[in-house]
Amino acid sequence: MAQQRVVVLTGAGISAESGLRTFRDGDGLWEEHRIEDVATPQAWIADPVLVWRFYQARRRQLLEVKPNAAHQALATFATKTDHFTLITQNVDDLHERAGNESTIHMHGRLKTLRCEQSGRSEVRMEEADFCDEFLYCQCCAVPQRLRHDIVWFGEMPMQMEAIHSAVEKSDLFIVVGSSGHVYPAAGLVNVANAAGATTILVNLEAPMNAENFDEVHLGKAGELLPNILEALS
């Protein structure tokens, strides 16, 4: 296993087991808001106060949750292979807190804020940074308004070149807690299959793309993943 190139993709399901709300509820609402009203560039232009306060509430929630057994299992597994890449669709920092410091966040991160003028990101996790009023950057001569360092609908996911390169070279591709609805993440299993990788899915329910995996394990990631990774080690 140490010489295999392993790529893991995680989605909202793994964070849900730590108590974070998943992507959207069954009624199509995201924490009681329409996606269009809080998670698009157009929403930021139309009502920046609503969008800002929505994400500030999500940032504050980070202080209330901890990594679970699935996060910990992935951190341990990473130490057992020389070629390990962890990609997440999640914007929380639970993988880092479990020990995976090199996590690729394709949809951005809640712990950083981005200057609207320069595009530079700043880690802003002090108590004063969780307020409902706008915050301003530390990089410009005249401080500019910050936005959340999140990929909204209609924006390009981050680090896609590095992500595709890793998956195209993978020998083992594991997806944990991803619905299979959101692209381009949902299409990465097809890239892995084309590369000849073994593909494994761990999810609470069978997602839309379940038939594309060699192995499918249904249940809570915190209960299933530690044993699956131990068997692969």
**The pairing of beta strand 108-115 with beta strand 121-123:** antiparallel
Residues tagged active-site: 107
Return the residue matching tokens 């964070």. 15
Which residue matches tokens 């594309």?
Answer: 212
CA distance linking residue 84 with residue 74, whole number of Å:
10
B/e letters for 197-216, b = 16+ CB within 10 Å, e = fewer, are bbbbbbbbeebebeebbeeb
d(CA 176, CA 69): 13
Q: Compute, in degrees rounded to 10, the torsion defined by CA atoms 169, 172, 176, 182.
A: 40
